Chain A
Amino acid sequence: MEGIATTLTTWIAGVTRLTAPPRGTFTQLARGSTAGNRHDTAQQRRVLEATLALLAQDAPVELVRLREEVAG
């Protein structure tokens, strides 16, 4: 974005990949809980830290899979 390093996380990798974002992670989380399951602060932090860590890399970076899922 015009000289601003960007990253994202998504639960819908197929659609996101079509737009070719510069950096991002994808999960098996659900619509409406993109950053992690409710009250699972450890999971939310994992998603955030992994997604933000990509900012250190030169873009473009392939979407990175995170093994984070909807609460069982």
Chain B
Amino acid sequence: MEILENLEQWQAAYEQGWLAHYQETGETDFKIYVRPKNSQAPAGPGIELARSRLALISSAGSYLKASQDPYDAENPLGDYTIRTYPSSTPFEAIAYAHTHYDHAAVNDDPQVLLPLRHLEDMVREGIVGELAPSVISFHGYQPDVTRTVNETIPAIVAAAKAEQIDAALLIPA
């Protein structure tokens, strides 16, 4: 199943519309941005969470401030890279590079976007089998969906497979 149906059509509309306008004016005008659309959701069997390994996937632009490069948050064309870091990381070691949401809440209480301590509690309570060793992080501002499909998603899938996860929880910012 394709990640995005009609990707070529979407790319043409993006290049002729939003991207052309940006290249001509330097403005990012989301009133003319064509949202990606799918008509069919992927099918798949449910899982027993209490016997599963779960990974948190976050688009909040989080990274380890002492050892990882921040995302290119100021780039109007987006950042399509990913970071991974241990799920047990103390929140004090995590920073957020993303200019498209207000960081006041996440700086005050990181569980609003990275509910890692809640997930650890749910493992202890037997609701979740285990947490994946790593959080999979990316930067959610990605106007070029073709790059998301060709760069970000394969990197996320590879990271998820390396973690041997059964299930994933996506929390967008």
Contact = CB atoms under 8 A, between A and B. Distances in A.
Contact of A6 (B108, B112, B168): B168
B90 interface: no
Contact of A56 (B48, B105, B118, B128): B48
Contacts of B118: 41, 44-45, 48
Interface residues of A, number: 41
Nearest to B100: A31
A35 B39 contact: no
A7 B109 CA distance: 22
Given A44-B118, A58-B44, A32 B169 contact: no
Interface of B is mostly: loop
Contacts of B161: 2
B72 interface: no
B171 A35 contact: yes
A33 B105 contact: yes
Contacts of A9: 171
Contacts of A51: 169
Contacts, number: 141
A59 B46 contact: yes
Interface residues of B, number: 48
Interface in A1-16: 1-10, 15-16
A55 B119 CA distance: 15
A10 B122 CA distance: 21
Interface string A14-43: 011011111000000011111111110100
B111 A35 contact: yes
Contacts of A1: 42, 156-157, 160, 168
B37 interface: yes
B38 A20 contact: yes
